[in-house]
Chain A
């Protein structure tokens, strides 16, 4: 099967949503699995969440028709379901297996993009997972907790005994037990929702987590077959298994789901709604038994059977089928040659037959053999997905019970489920169009129509419940940011013009008005910039979330015990920064685990706990985001580093002897420097710290290291919050303006010429007791700048020096003039200028001119190497 082209049953938009959601769920799944391993199965909330993630994945992969993914998620879900019900203990092997499953899911997810079947084999994995779950598998595949035996234990495997046979109560279902009142929950699925079935499924799952979903409209089956339409209403009847303020809890749990709005949560007494039986009643003579034969030579009868049931769903409402959808999807219909579907549909036999033929006979290898009107009583007892249709005979109609219960509501003591009627919680009349979501809108179930006469109007009213969140393509945000950049440039430009006008124009009032307008525009564009920046911000959690798994795997590989602490997950940063910061942090974490943390024996010998600690922390500091990667390992010995650097030929022995500790530590960032054999016994890949530094600096950030031998090491990465617009100091060199990112500027000074010292033949000044090595930008740039500019700048009595920093290194740049601070919009210069040393990009200034942005790290390196006379960086 490898390399087979794949097709999926979804539009491109749905695919995009599916992809991003599936990624989210997988991320959640792997995070939660790690938590599960850590915390055990005592945390029921976690267990539910993790199960929900798996189930949502299964549902959505099924909905787009990704069979292998659905199969694997099914196996994962089965295990998780048993864990959830404490039928299986959590073991490391189990977590390993489940994580492997998630890894495989990622590969399968890629197939959605490549549309080619990957060569990953999931059979073994599924088998292993099934074997794990084997002891108690029955029914575990189903989304609703095993506490609803009537729900799934007998999902109409054969022809069921008649449901509403007079006087015959169906199966003795707990539904009928008093003190278990029903709540009716109405949920509106947003018009804009692209995967309505997935949302509906999430609603059902959320509800199932709070008790037993007795019935739903559309049914769970319809939902799982992907037939829910956007803008429709999902109604479900829930028998809560929770106590307290039930309505509130339902609202909270369901309201958490994106793109759906809870429109009503109402108690319905201890009975199921009359709707279903009424349906059946009114549908009397409209229930059709459809028999479809599958060709003997059909290689995949189960697939055809599935298509048949789904196709029937398009012609009417499927009440039941044999085999059931569940059975087909569970692979129990692999030899099936005939499918029987009980279909509710209004209209004549001829019409029904025509509709069915139209839908069903489109499917290859099948023939409709028989369509007969069936007595209502002949319909199977339970709907195929197993939600019981309670019989009208045994239970009074809903309205009666509500009327009976409602007045007593407030007086019933708290703690009794359903006691809190909370009328305030019904802002929208409970008249949502229940039939709206039925697969065939042309055949509204009569009972529903009667119950909600103004269904259409209510639907319209629900438009006010528009979703509060929208998804925006990152590209659109980028475009928005670019436009804001343009605006910022023009704002500054306009301010200059206004300035000129007020100086030259005779009309003072007019000039004043212009200036005032400019000021206002400046404020507005500032706010706009803030808002756009904020909309691009996301918590760093999106980056951090993949690290626990990474740390776990790595620790396992090197055989160390690691306690991984993550702090400041909520710290927000710009999307563009977030996208690029992951790799450098991974490098640092690897480095800490591989080289920093000592092996157990050594730790014990050093009097430390055998479990090493690695801390990853993020926080905001001024306009920067600061990320620490810290370990309590062996630390870095500057002497060892020096020796290593000498032996690698990175520095000379003399240079090493002159070097201070800080400089020595800096050597670990030098290209070609790997400390693996020197300070680590574990053979790992040499971690390229030079790459880390390069990547961080490309983002206008910096990285520093602090260490204490025997105590640990801390790497600190500082990054700007955004990459597009920054504040910069503008300076002049030989008549041209240059920009220095303000984050690199320590201070700008004007010094007398005689304060310049010469240290080892290089210019320097003393700045607060420290020697600041200097560089004349003219020496570097002037020759290429306009030749006629050789003025007297060098001979001037006063010199302007901009003290800049890179990490904890400092240097001074001698410039011709200071122009001032300005907000600049960073623009890439393109490949042609890749070799332009000392320039990191271009900035468009307020007057529309372009100014090169100085590459401070490169310039400081240049100063240092000139000073030392040894090349540090290649």
Chain B
């Protein structure tokens, strides 16, 4: 019996999230922050960009930066696969793409299933995390998008050296 009443009951405070994989771990961001999900396309490298920035892509005439979340989390960078996707999100007014290993589903998460982040989970820096959602036997890491960018910004502001 895999009855999951909390998931089927659509309480108003349920948070809808987009779940995706990065290095075999499930992550999620609030669906309201996701503009769209696109296939991986050719990325133009911009020399001198911050390390986690993979480059830029042309999103229907708009040039947007693309971040590789694996690099962001200091995980080993694999080759991108056919399942790889770019999740286009908005962070502090800027549209940017996050490269993920694959997008799995959209879920409703009741607020009482969200626990504060623990450094032990997922093995990535907890400052990027907003919380951990425990659904049945799964753990989903809720990303704090604003934190994903701000260290980068600091990094690029410091990087005034001409190399």
A residues with CB within 8 A of B: 482, 485-486, 489, 736-737, 780-781, 784-786, 827-839, 842, 844, 848-852, 862
Give CA–CA (A851, B159) in the complex, Å.
22
- Please determine whether B63 and A842 come into contact, CB atoms closer than 8 angstroms: yes
The 10 closest A-B pairs by CB, nearest first: A836-B48, A850-B44, A781-B47, A827-B63, A835-B159, A842-B63, A784-B47, A486-B61, A837-B48, A832-B65
Complex CA–CA separation, A780 to B96 (angstroms): 26
A832 near B53 with CB under 8 A, answer yes
Query: Is the C-beta of B81 less than 8 angstroms from some C-beta in chain A?
Result: no
Q: Are B61 and A844 within 8 A (Cβ)? A: yes
Known: A827-B62, A829-B56, A850-B58. A838 touches B45 (CB 8 A): no
Contacts of A850 on B, CB cut-off 8 Å? Answer: 44, 56-58, 63
Apart from A736-B44, A835-B49, A842-B63, 19 more pairs, CB < 8 Å: A486-B61, A736-B45, A784-B47, A785-B45, A785-B47, A827-B63, A830-B65, A831-B94, A832-B50, A832-B94, A833-B65, A834-B157, A835-B159, A836-B47, A838-B47, A849-B42, A849-B58, A850-B56, A862-B162
B residues less than 8 Å from A786 (CB atoms): 45
Partner of B44, one of A486, A838, A842: A842
B156 touches A831 (CB 8 A): yes
Chain B residues with CB under 8 Å of A485's CB are 61
Whether A851 and B44, one on each chain, are in contact in the complex, defined by CB atoms closer than 8 angstroms, is yes
Taken together as a complex, chains A and B put the C-alpha atoms of A570 and B150 apart, in Å, by 47
Our pick among A780, A839, A844, A848 for the contact of B46 (Cβ within 8 Å) is A839
Of all chain B residues, the one with the shortest Cβ separation from A827 is B63
Cα(A450)–Cα(B152), bound, Å:
78
Q: How far is the CB of A758 from chain B (nearest CB, A)?
A: 23
Determine the chain B residues whose CB is within 8 A of the CB of A736 once the complex forms.
Answer: 44-45
Question: Bound state CA distance, A852 and B50, in angstroms?
Answer: 15
CB pair A780 B63 closer than 8 Å = no
| Residues of A contacting B136 in the complex (Cβ-Cβ under 8 angstroms) | none
Q: Is B82 an interface residue (CB 8 A)?
A: no
Q: Which B residue's beta carbon lies closest to that of A826?
A: B63
Kindly state whether residue B153 has any CB partner on chain A within 8 Å: yes
The interface residues of chain A, by DSSP majority, are classed as mixed
Q: Across the interface, which residues of B come within 8 angstroms of A737, CB to CB?
A: 44
**Which residues of chain B from 142 to 162 have any CB-CB distance to chain A below 8 Å in the complex?**
152-153, 156-157, 159-160, 162
Q: Given B47, B58, B163, which contacts A844 in the complex, CB threshold below 8 Å?
A: B58
Give CA–CA (A830, B63) in the complex, Å.
9
A-B contact pairs, 18 of them (CB 8 A): A736-B45, A781-B47, A785-B47, A829-B63, A830-B94, A831-B94, A832-B50, A832-B153, A833-B53, A835-B157, A835-B159, A835-B160, A837-B163, A838-B47, A842-B56, A850-B56, A851-B44, A862-B162
Write the chain A residue with the least CB distance to B42: A849
| Bound complex: CA A851 to CA B153 (Å) | 22
Closest to A858 in B: B162
Residues of A within 8 A of B50 (CB): 832, 835
- A844 close to B63 (CB less than 8 A): yes
Q: How far does the alpha carbon of A486 sit from the alpha carbon of B62 in the complex, in Å?
A: 10
CA distance A852 to B47 in the complex (A): 9
* A849-B48 in contact (CB<8A): no
Q: How far is the CA of A786 from the CA of B62 in the complex (A)?
A: 24
Chain B residues numbered 22-75 whose CB sits less than 8 Å from any CB in chain A: 42, 44-50, 53, 56-58, 61-63, 65
